[in-house]
């Protein structure tokens, strides 16, 4: 059970970015694209778990100082270092062949994602601002794998909107970590951040997310592709979701784990589901 928990399967929901192209590329009813996207999703999930294990091995001492992370399998001793290394080898050996089944392009993207995150784990995570941009790039690679990787032309607006929202979540995560950290040894990059600086970044990215998404919904190419000008009516859901997340960040002192916030806050979960249902109904 500890080995399964070490994979962090709850975080595989982040790889849903791989499937976004099926919806906005109007390919959700085309079996060849769906199968390729599923392979890409599985490959990214396994590679993401590979990255999680590598990170936990690299951060084991720091995690033991954290009030929550000390309960992770490796930090707590439930999974030994030897077992973790075997798990790393297994995940790498399976994820890349699965990515190849999706397409050679997906294979290259998944490989690039793994290499980028290794560089992040062993140095780049300590470079202020760049650390969050690398996290956001990981989500951009997911979108590209689910579009270019399987033969769907990606919307430039989709790329921009994805970048804005992931930067927003990344800086919000850093703010939460900074506020909750008892000492900066838990994550050295926090020494270079301040609450005031992160508040400015968060405000900029929240505004940029709302603007870029709203512009996407009314862009002529969007209306032409989806044969509707009604997507603008999903904007209030996006705005509400962002504001609710800011409420959790500032008033409830949450935000360190967006996945946990999604599943544990009923309002955000219902907003995401409502947005997904309405958007699907409009674009298909």
- CA distance linking residue 150 with residue 245, whole number of Å: 32
Q: Are 77 and 10 in contact (CB under 8 A)?
A: no
Q: What is the pLDDT of residues 98-115, one digit of tens each?
A: 999 999 999 999 999 999
pLDDT value for 184: 47
Cα-based distances in Å from 94 to 44, 53, 115, 125, 244: 11, 15, 16, 26, 38
Angle (nearest 5°) at CA 37 between 163 and 162: 10
Identify the residue whose tokens are 């939460």: 176
SS3 94: helix
Query: Using 50, 70 and 90 to split pLDDT, how confident is the model at 254?
Result: confident
Query: Using 50, 70 and 90 to split pLDDT, how confident is the model at 186?
Result: low
- Interhelix angle 195-218/235-250, rounded to 10 degrees, is 170
Q: What percent of the chain has pLDDT over 70?
A: 98
Q: What is the pLDDT of residues 230-239, one digit of tens each?
A: 999 999 999 9
Q: What is the pLDDT of residues 211-227, one digit of tens each?
A: 999 999 999 988 988 88
Query: Using 50, 70 and 90 to split pLDDT, how confident is the model at 182?
Result: low
- CATH assignment, 1-154: 1.10.357.140
pLDDT value for 205: 96
Q: What is the pLDDT of residues 129-169, one digit of tens each?
A: 999 999 999 999 999 999 999 988 888 888 899 899 999 99
pLDDT value for 72: 77
Residue 185's nearest CA partner among 59, 49, 26, 7 is 59
Residue 128's nearest CA partner among 50, 203, 194 is 194
Q: What is the pLDDT of residues 29-84, one digit of tens each?
A: 889 999 999 999 999 999 999 998 888 887 777 777 777 777 777 777 777 788 88
- Domain ranges (residues) in the chain: 1-154, 155-284
């Amino acid at each position: 059970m500890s080995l399964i928990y070490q994979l962090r399967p709850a975080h595989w929901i982040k790889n849903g970015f791989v499937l976004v192209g099926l919806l906005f590329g109007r390919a959700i009813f085309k079996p060849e694209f769906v199968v390729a996207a599923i392979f890409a999703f599985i490959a990214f999930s396994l590679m993401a778990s590979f990255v999680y294990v590598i990170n936990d091995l690299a951060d084991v001492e720091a995690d033991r100082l954290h009030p929550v992370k000390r309960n992770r399998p490796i930090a707590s001793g439930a999974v030994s270092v030897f077992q973790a290394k075997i798990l790393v080898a297994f995940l790498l050996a399976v994820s890349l062949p699965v990515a190849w089944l999706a397409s050679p392009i997906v294979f290259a993207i998944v490989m690039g994602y793994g290499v980028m995150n290794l560089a992040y784990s062993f140095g780049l995570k300590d470079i202020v601002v760049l650390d969050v941009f690398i996290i956001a790039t990981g989500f951009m690679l997911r979108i590209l794998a689910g579009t270019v990787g399987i033969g769907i032309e990606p919307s430039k607006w989709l790329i921009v909107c994805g970048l804005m929202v992931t930067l927003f979540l990344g800086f919000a995560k850093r703010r939460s970590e900074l506020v909750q950290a008892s000492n900066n040894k838990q994550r050295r990059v926090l020494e270079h951040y301040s609450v005031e600086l992160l508040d400015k970044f968060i405000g900029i990215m929240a505004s940029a997310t709302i603007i870029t998404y709203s512009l996407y919904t009314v862009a002529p190419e969007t209306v032409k592709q989806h044969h509707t000008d009604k997507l603008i009516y999903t904007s209030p859901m996006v705005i509400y979701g962002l504001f609710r997340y800011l409420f959790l960040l500032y008033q409830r002192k949450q935000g360190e784990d967006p996945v946990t916030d999604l599943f544990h806050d009923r309002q955000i979960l219902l907003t995401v589901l409502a947005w997904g249902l309405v958007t699907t109904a409009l674009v298909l």
